[in-house]
């Protein structure tokens, strides 16, 4: 193919491409060099066309995506609406949590108020019991009982002074010799008051000895039927049991007994017994004992007294020929228990007695030991 008419100086192109660092071997003819250059130009044009096509495709894709996003505007609005509703729900829940906290505080204060009311009622009851005990002790000592004023009449009212009758006008005009005798002197009045006080003291002293010398017998002991609910060994003493005993009160009493060497622990569980309930509570190796289990006792053997079969916790044990109410609490200084205990014994039929009078639960029977006769009771 002759291209000389198109390129009168073919070497010019060869020189041009060499200036562009394009390899052009020396043995290639100018005509062939021109064909290579034309082919490269065609490739460049095709590359530009491909780039333009791809650019148009990308632009159309972006435009289509934009139109699609503009078509989803209602969905975005719904999302925004739901977000606003979620914020409202969160605010409502916060308010509910705050209300629950306030309600819990109010309920806690109500519970505390009820607890304080119960404690106040208990304290009032304790005060009334102490007042009753005080009056009873004063009555035993011969102190004259003064009735307590009622709550409604607690205000103090002063007694009105007796009115002095004023003489009438005619009496005022009466002559002086008719006047009464002169009033007694101050010394005489003082002597009279002292004599009255002295007489009252003598009366009190005369009334006191009969109360101080009150009879000491078994009627002053508060002996009751009880049920040993549970028993266990004392944590700090190997020879002692610690029992919980129902004696007919609101709560069981704690009793400490030295029965480990004489009665197995299994026989201490859920059994009936007779208990002395008005001893002063005493601490035994760190545990306060509130009563004493009554037992037939000898140096070698100990047996718990059994109440009659029909007895229930709280039944009082009485003695024929020894009426009277037991003391609220035995005074250790009076030694009442120490004076009564030597006369407590079992007879030949194992019956528990005081000076021959049996331990008796009214209408239900008598208290006995299992096998021990003519033994002391303590």
Q: Where are the domains of the chain?
A: 10-68, 82-140, 220-377
For residue 311, what are its two tokens? 């007895």
Residues 82 and 5: their CA atoms lie apart, in Å, by: 79
Instruction: Give me the pLDDT at residue 208, please.
Output: 45
What's residue 151's pLDDT?
A: 47
pTM of the model: 0.46
Q: What is the pLDDT of residue 191?
A: 61
Burial 139-175 (b: 16+ CB within 10 A, else e): eeebeeeeeeeeeeeeeeeeeeeeeeeeeeeeeeeee
CA distances, 189 to each of 7, 182, 198, 323 (Å): 172, 13, 14, 49
What 3-state class would DSSP assign to 255? strand
Q: What is the pLDDT of residue 274?
A: 95
pLDDT, one tens digit for every residue, the chain (378 residues):
444 444 445 445 455 445 544 444 444 455 555 555 666 666 776 777 777 777 777 777 776 666 666 555 777 778 788 888 888 898 888 898 988 988 889 888 898 888 899 999 999 999 999 988 988 888 888 776 666 555 444 444 444 555 544 544 444 444 444 444 455 455 555 566 566 666 555 555 544 444 444 688 999 999 999 999 999 999 888 889 999 999 999 999 999 999 999 999 999 999 999 999 999 999 888 899 999 999 999 988 999 999 999 899 999 999 999 988 999 999 989 999 999 999 999 999 999 999 999 999 999 999 999 999 999 999
Superfamily of domain 220-377: Nucleic acid-binding proteins (2.40.50.140)
Angle of CA points 178, 182, 184, to nearest 5°: 155
Could you tell me if 63 and 57 are in contact, meaning their C-beta atoms sit under 8 angstroms apart?
no
3-class state of residue 292 by DSSP: strand
pLDDT at residue 37, rounded to an integer: 61
Angstrom distances, CA of residue 333 to CA of 131, 217, 264, 280, 338: 21, 16, 35, 11, 10
**Which pLDDT does position 177 carry in this prediction?**
44
| pLDDT for the residue numbered 353 | 95
What pLDDT, on the 0 to 100 scale, is given for residue 338?
92
* Contact between 221 and 354 (Cβ < 8 Å): no
| Cα–Cα distance for residue pair 133/131, rounded to 1 Å | 5
Collect all residues with Cβ–Cβ distance below 8 Å to 233 and sequence separation of at least 6: 240, 241, 242, 260, 265
**Structure-token match 């505080």, residue found:** 105
């Amino acid at each position: 193919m002759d291209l000389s008419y198109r390129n009168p100086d073919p070497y010019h192109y060869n020189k041009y491409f060499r200036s562009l660092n394009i390899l052009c071997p020396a043995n290639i003819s100018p005509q062939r060099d021109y064909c290579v250059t034309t082919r490269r130009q065609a490739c460049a044009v095709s590359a530009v066309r491909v780039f333009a096509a791809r650019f148009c495709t990308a632009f159309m894709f972006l435009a289509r995506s934009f139109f699609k996003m503009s078509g989803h505007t209602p969905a975005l609005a719904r999302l925004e609406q739901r977000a606003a509703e979620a914020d409202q729900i969160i605010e409502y829940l916060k308010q509910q949590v705050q209300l629950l906290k306030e309600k819990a505080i109010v309920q806690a204060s109500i519970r505390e108020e009820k607890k304080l009311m119960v404690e106040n009622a208990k304290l009032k009851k304790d005060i009334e019991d102490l007042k009753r005990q005080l009056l009873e002790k004063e009555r035993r000592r011969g102190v004259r009982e003064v009735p307590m004023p009622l709550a409604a009449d607690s205000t103090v009212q002063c007694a009105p002074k007796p009115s002095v009758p004023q003489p009438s006008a005619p009496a005022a005009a009466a002559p002086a010799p008719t006047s009464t005798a002169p009033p007694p002197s101050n010394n005489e009045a003082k002597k009279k008051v002292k004599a009255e006080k002295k007489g009252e003291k003598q009366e009190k002293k005369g009334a006191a000895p009969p109360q101080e010398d009150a009879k000491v017998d078994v009627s002053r002991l508060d002996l009751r039927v009880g049920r040993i609910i549970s028993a266990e060994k004392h944590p700090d003493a190997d020879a002692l049991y610690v029992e919980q005993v129902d004696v007919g009160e609101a709560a069981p009493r704690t009793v400490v007994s030295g029965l480990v060497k004489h009665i197995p622990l299994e026989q201490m569980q859920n059994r009936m017994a007779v208990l002395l309930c008005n001893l002063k509570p005493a601490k035994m190796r760190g545990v306060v004992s509130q009563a004493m289990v009554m037992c037939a006792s000898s140096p070698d053997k100990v047996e718990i007294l059994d109440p009659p079969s029909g007895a229930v916790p709280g039944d009082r044990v009485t003695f024929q020929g020894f009426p009277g109410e037991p003391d609220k609490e035995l005074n250790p200084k009076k030694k009442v228990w120490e004076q009564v205990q030597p006369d407590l014994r079992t007879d030949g039929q194992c019956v528990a007695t005081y000076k021959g009078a049996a331990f008796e639960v009214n209408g239900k029977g008598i208290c006995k030991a299992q096998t021990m006769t003519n033994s002391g009771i303590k």
